[in-house]
Structure 1
Amino acid sequence: MRSDRRTQLLRRGRNVECASLVYNIIEVAVSLTAGFATGSSALISWGVDSIVEGNSAAFMVWRLHGEAAGISEREVLKRKKTALGVLSAAFSIAVVFILYEAISKFISGETASLSWWGIGILLVSLVVNPLLAWGKYRYGKLTDSPTLKYDAIDTIICEYQTIVVLVGIAFVQWKGWWWADPVAALLIVPYVAWEAFHAGRDAYQVDLDASVSG
């Protein structure tokens, strides 16, 4: 049986992931609406990545809830393998979409217009994401859960993406560099592609007959 202390920590980690899921849903709704309304590839790409981050949080909630509820170690590993596989597929789809959106903007030469809603959600994310990352890493460390700590790193990298998008929007609006918007979107691609590979590799390496390692 798992100790009451560990179960309590797992539930707290799950609560942090629930908060992350709710916030990512808000990010997706605002950024995609603003992105499509203004023609901003960077905002749209950031919103697509937020969908992936939301999926990650949802599967982490599912995975942590199961372990806290006392499911078998094999079932915990099965959930981990499934979550990683779904994330790998989601990241891969995101790469294709971001490339299509950015290249289309390069071809058309279309300039994105300003969206205060888009800038607003980006600025809020600059504050919220580090707090979520801290919570994930803290409970990942306390429960010796690599997946929680891994998700915390993902959230911190999302902070980098937020800064990149804000800089891209600034160059478009104040310098008139229309190409800065699709470039900002393309700068997100290497990270998303790496995460697709990393999650797929980790899913493949999960041994359902091994003991739970987080």
Structure 2
Amino acid sequence: MKVARYLQWSVVAALATIALKTAAWGLTGSVGLLSDAMESFVNLAAAVFALAMVTVAHAPADDEHPFGHGKAEYFSSGFEGLLILGAALAIIWAALQRLMAPQPLEALGLGVALSVLSSAINGGVAWMLLRAAREHDSIALEADGRHLMTDVWTSIGVAGGVLLVPLTGWWWLDPLLAMAVALNITREAWGLLRRSIDGLMDRALGESEQAVIQRVLAELASEEVRFDHLRTRRAARHKFCEFHMHAPGRWSLSLAAARRAEVERALTEAVPGLKVTIELLPQSVEPVGLHEAARGA
């Protein structure tokens, strides 16, 4: 499973950066670098949970889950968002303690060098994850990649700020940087939580994908065949659409089924990964039932 293999690399990167950033904090005593190290622990927990959820998401459909397990990926990004929020609160608490009792920093050169090395590792893995997320349409990979990229910019900002502390003599700058890190990752956490909630609430496909579906149906429509009541939804990498196809009542069942198969094939070719459900109806029939009740709810 390719998606899982990418997340395994994320776990390895998290372990490496934890070691480097913890060493940087131990050498310098910087609470800013401590906050950076704490975020790497979040990266590790998030990557492990994402790996577990992606494994569940790729399990085949069964009797209890006939539409598959794709939504498990949304739990991964939501869990990562909650972890980030927890880390932000811990960072702010540590920063407040240091702000009330500032301390000089030591061995900044080696400590910052270790932090920069960890940023390079995270940057490479984040680039790989975001590229794979686009290729496999995986929110779990995207969430982990975006979090790692946020960590990269955070580490760069912290390293630069920490180097300014001995130059300026502003020892309060170190805890202030830690608070800035906390606020930055809180913003990332909110974005992940919002996307997870949207996915679990059966959000419709994006505007561009809906436009492609509408264009294909418009091209296939004719005086004899029309389409209506289109609905779409996404479940992680899975995409669904359903609609009514109205055909002449005089058509044989085999002809109507063949035309419906053509429509389904055209849509799946235009939108890769799309799962299509078409309800075949006579031209004059406008059903009042489950679909209309759902639209009016």
TM over 0.5: yes
Matches within 5 A, 1:42-121: 42-70=32-60, 73-77=67-71, 79-115=72-108, 118-121=111-114
Match of 1:145 in 2: 138
Match of 1:212 in 2: 235
Q: Is the 8 A contact 2:59 2:68 kept in 1?
A: no
> Structure 1's 180 and 114: CA in aligned 2 closer, same or farther, altered over 3 A?
farther
Partners of 2:78 and 2:100 in 1: how far apart?
34
Which letter maps to 1:123? V
Partners of 2:21 and 2:178 in 1: how far apart?
13
Partners of 2:55 and 2:84 in 1: how far apart?
24
Match of 1:181 in 2: 174
Alpha-carbon distance, 1:153 to partner: 2.1
> Structure 1's 84 and 147: CA in aligned 2 closer, same or farther, altered over 3 A?
closer
- Is structure 2 residue 150 aligned with structure 1 residue 157? yes
- In structure 2, runs of 5+ residues without a counterpart are 203-232, 238-297
> Structure 1's 34 and 126: CA in aligned 2 closer, same or farther, altered over 3 A?
closer
When the two chains are superposed, the root-mean-square deviation of aligned CA atoms in Å is 2.5
Match of 1:7 in 2: none
Which letter maps to 1:60? A
Q: 1:129 aligns with which of 103, 122, 125?
A: 122
Alpha-carbon distance, 1:174 to partner: 3.7
Range with bigger deviation, 178-187 or 32-41: 32-41
Alpha-carbon distance, 1:47 to partner: 0.8
Partners of 1:114 and 1:106 in 2: how far apart?
20
Which letter maps to 1:76? G
Partners of 2:141 and 2:122 in 1: how far apart?
15
> Structure 1's 76 and 199: CA in aligned 2 closer, same or farther, altered over 3 A?
same
Q: Is the 8 A contact 1:114 1:173 kept in 2?
A: no
- In structure 1, runs of 5+ residues without a counterpart are 1-10
Higher relative helix content: 1
Which letter maps to 1:102? A
Alpha-carbon distance, 1:59 to partner: 2.2
- Is structure 2 residue 19 aligned with structure 1 residue 29? yes
**Structure with more contact order per residue of length (Cα contacts < 8 Å, sep ≥ 6):** 1
Which letter maps to 2:235? V
> Structure 1's 128 and 30: CA in aligned 2 closer, same or farther, altered over 3 A?
closer
The CA deviation string for residues 22-65 of structure 1, in whole angstroms up to 9 with x for no partner, is: 22122223323542553211111001111112222222222333
Alpha-carbon distance, 1:177 to partner: 2.8
> Structure 1's 36 and 127: CA in aligned 2 closer, same or farther, altered over 3 A?
closer
Alpha-carbon distance, 1:137 to partner: 1.4
| Larger Rg over CA atoms | 2
Q: Is the 8 A contact 2:161 2:177 kept in 1?
A: yes
Higher relative strand content: 2
Partners of 1:112 and 1:33 in 2: how far apart?
14
TM-score, structure 2 normalization:
0.60
Which letter maps to 2:117? V
Partners of 1:12 and 1:211 in 2: how far apart?
21
How high is the sequence identity, in percent, across the aligned residues? 21
TM-score, structure 1 normalization:
0.81
Range with bigger deviation, 198-207 or 104-113: 198-207
